[in-house]
Chains A and B, each alone.
Chain A
Amino acid sequence: MDKRLEEFQQLLNQLSAKGRGATVELLLRQMDTDQARCLRLCAIPHEFDVSILRSLAPDLSEEQARNYCVLLSKLSLVASRDESFAIHEEPRRYLFDQWLDSEFLAEFRTASARLTEYFGLLGARLKEESATEKSDAVERVIRNRMFHLMGASSAEGFAEFERLCRQRREEMRFDQCETLIKLVHEYDRIFNPLEKAIIAYHEGKLAADRRQWSAAEEAYNRVLGTAEVSTQMRVKTLRRLGMIQDDQRHWKAAIDFFQKSLELADARPDCSRQIIHLHLNLGSTYRDSGRLTEAENFLQKSIVLAQNAQDLSCLADGHNASGTLYLRTNDTHRAIEAFQTSLKYLEQIGDRFRCAQVYNNLGNAQFNRQEWDKSEQLFRQSLEIKRQAGDNAGQAVTLTNLVRVYRAQHRIPDAIEALQQAATLFAEVRDDYSAARVKRDLARIYRSMNNVELASSSFDEAAALFERCHETQEAQAAREEARPKKRGLPWWVIVAIVLFVAIVVLMTLALAFHW
């Protein structure tokens, strides 16, 4: 072998022995020092161009930066993306991870601060030009700024990350939340356990929003498994775990989590808001599981606590939950009073969207009083607001309530249409259990119309959905309902009748012969 080739191979072997990134290291060693520095710097952002490179290395002139961009673009690991360049993900990860080593961290923080400023200015300029914060380009710049702010200062970066995450969740743009979470994970190596727990908490909330229960549970358990997490954070996480159990109708497990959370909160002033929420959660879950006395105690206490804290939002929730409880005890008058109080508080705080839930409940109360028109009007009011909010699960629930009004008025085609809409909406939010119940109701309507075929297929769909959410008993019951009922008398009745007739005939004959 050529002597120089041998030399090259030795170098390659030496670097390969060091593990991952050998080929990138080899390339960097062959490059001119300044060019190698530029390549390393360009691995901090996800994409680079002349202005980003100049921001990373302010000592470079425009022309120098342009020349380096041209040189770098010729490398196999750099791809051109529209008007910018991107380093292939694997080598970029290697170079980015190197920046996170303690020896380079100070330089990295400085470069990240410069990028934060760069994207901040760019965002402001784009906002001015498009007069909006909502354009694709501005949003991308805002994400980039958050990413580099995290590199410049963890605390400020986290605050921005949490702000953006909350905003996107409120807008129900879960894909955007996922993107933000993916971006911050690039810093995993330098995050302390507490910071990792904060990310896990947001991952849990996102998974719960998407009804991915096991992923949500796993993320929340990661939070709880972190020793550094504050008591307040533990209280919040236990409550969230309770909420996902509650959403799955696992009442006992939900109550256990809420109780644990309440015990941990233990009247701590920093947990006061959580304590009110936990009373509300416990009251609602006890109510839904049929333990109405406990439910009333917790809900009343939540109202008192909210009053003391002058928390109008919680007061509205407390009265709404109490109204639902009174509906269950058939105390319609008190229920309507409670719902109206709740509405009053919601109007005071200007929360239009939560009014939708209360209108729905008022609709149920009017239904109980057989006020069909009032009930329908309230359900429609609720539906309209829920549509505006993009609350698919809420719309589905209200539609199933509206079906009761239609059935009471014998408006069967309307009932069928509403149930079909509800089933689609429940399927969209992956609520299999509710979708199954809707399908079963639909099947029963078809059966009452003597449409055996549609009834049977709807029962089958209901059974499959119950099966999917492990409600085997209900699945079995749905399957049994699907079977056409046998007409006629049971065999033992027929035997009894035959025997009776035979005895009567024999007795008659015996009497006839006797006489």
Chain B
Amino acid sequence: MRDVLAAFVDRHVELGRFCEMLENDEKPIMIVWGDDGIGKSSFLARLIHECASRKLRKAEVFASKNRFNSYLEILRKIRDDLGPELFPNFTQLVNYLFPSPLQAREPIKIEVGGGAQSVLERARLENVTIHGDVAGVIIKDCMINVPDPTLNIPPQDRMNLLTAEFLKDLAPIVQHEMLVVLFDDIQELADETYKWLWEGIISALDEGRLRNIRFVLCGRAKPQLEGTAALSVKEAPLQPLGLADIESYLERSNHVPEGRAEAAKMLLAGSKGIPLNVALQLDSYFQFFPDKRARVNG
């Protein structure tokens, strides 16, 4: 859905605010909010596309009830999006605090020389099951969530230590290059995680420990902003689509010119401009009228 809708919902005004944010470090945080189906995720996909076309580094954290709603999961996701090899200190600390029962031995390391290589070419593997990435050097941690009970580190200290180590690894990455971190469905973050996000990560911008980072936070409701955070935020409340947006969507979805305006009016009336409803109705519409969709070569 994210990919499909992103193809048509431009959200020019909001996109303009995002571009301003990229070009100016005065307000490095953008909050996007709106009801379910209003197109937050689609808008986020549009922003991801914008980052890609500007060749900016980005990390995407799509929180859900069951994923990416704790601080450790989020740190690991950002690390993995940027490249685990860039976070050696953080990964080392994670492995120290959350050891795997299998970690006693040295991590597997495959040495690969320069130039184009096929990592597993002619390799003979026995008694090995590969579930994740196959790369020249394997650096990721073991994704263990329960801390080593023999260590004397309380949960809060553990979180602070990991965050500090993560920021230490991140600082040189963003020294000369911009990073955009995009969060979707922040309402799914646990209480502690939400607090940590503002106080542990975003605050590093205010305190000058980090630079060249932009945060986009999408959620169902406008977050409560306190203190200096409120001064660093650009707001983008999402509104329902208008007729012109829907017509544009039909065009990009390859609706033949004939009857497009009528169909757009009908979809606006039926969906009240809620992007998800527009998209779902259009899916049905094309099932009902397969001939209304122009064939696209390739």
Contact = CB atoms under 8 A, between A and B. Distances in A.
Nearest to B267: A12
Contact of A139 (B69, B100, B145, B155): B145
Contacts, number: 164
Interface in A1-47: 1-2, 4-5, 8-9, 12-13, 16, 23-24, 26-27, 29-31, 46-47
A411 interface: no
Interface residues of A, number: 64
B280 A175 contact: no
Interface string B163-198: 000000000000000000000010010111100000
B280 A81 contact: no
Nearest to A8: B288
B153 to A, nearest CB: 8
Interface stretch (A59-67, A70-78, A156-164): A70-78
A2 B261 CA distance: 12
A76 B279 contact: yes
Contacts of B3: 79-80
B288 A30 contact: yes
A134 B152 CA distance: 19
A428 interface: yes
A193 interface: no
Contacts of B270: 9, 12-13, 16, 23
Interface in A47-105: 47, 74-81, 86, 88-91
A179 B70 CA distance: 9
B154 interface: yes
B102 A131 contact: yes
A368 interface: no
By DSSP majority rule, is chain A's interface helix, strand, loop, or mixed?
Answer: helix
A391 interface: yes
A77 B259 contact: no
Contacts of B5: 76
B266 A12 contact: yes
B193 A130 contact: no
Given A8-B288, A76-B4, A132 B144 contact: yes
B127 to A, nearest CB: 12
A109 B83 CA distance: 42
Contacts of B143: 135-137
A174 B155 CA distance: 10
A470 interface: no
Interface stretch (B21-29, B59-67, B228-236): B59-67
Contact of B155 (A13, A30, A182, A390): A390
Nearest to A86: B64
B283 interface: yes
Nearest to A174: B192
Contacts of A74: 4
Contacts of B154: 387, 389-392, 395
A77 B66 contact: no
A5 B262 contact: yes
A178 B155 contact: no
B121 to A, nearest CB: 24
Contacts of A395: 154
Given A8-B289, A89-B36, A132-B144, A76 B64 contact: no
A395 B3 CA distance: 50
A135 B191 contact: no
A428 B199 CA distance: 12
A391 to B, nearest CB: 7
Interface in A176-234: 176, 178-179, 182-183, 210
A90 B1 CA distance: 12
Given A135-B100, A183-B65, A27 B191 contact: no
A305 B101 CA distance: 44
B49 interface: no
B80 to A, nearest CB: 11
Given A79-B41, A132-B100, A387-B152, A175 B191 contact: yes
A75 B281 CA distance: 11
6 shortest A-B CB distances, which residue pairs?
A175-B190, A76-B279, A30-B287, A134-B146, A390-B154, A136-B143
Given A24-B280, A391-B154, 4 more contacts: A81-B67, A88-B276, A130-B102, A135-B145
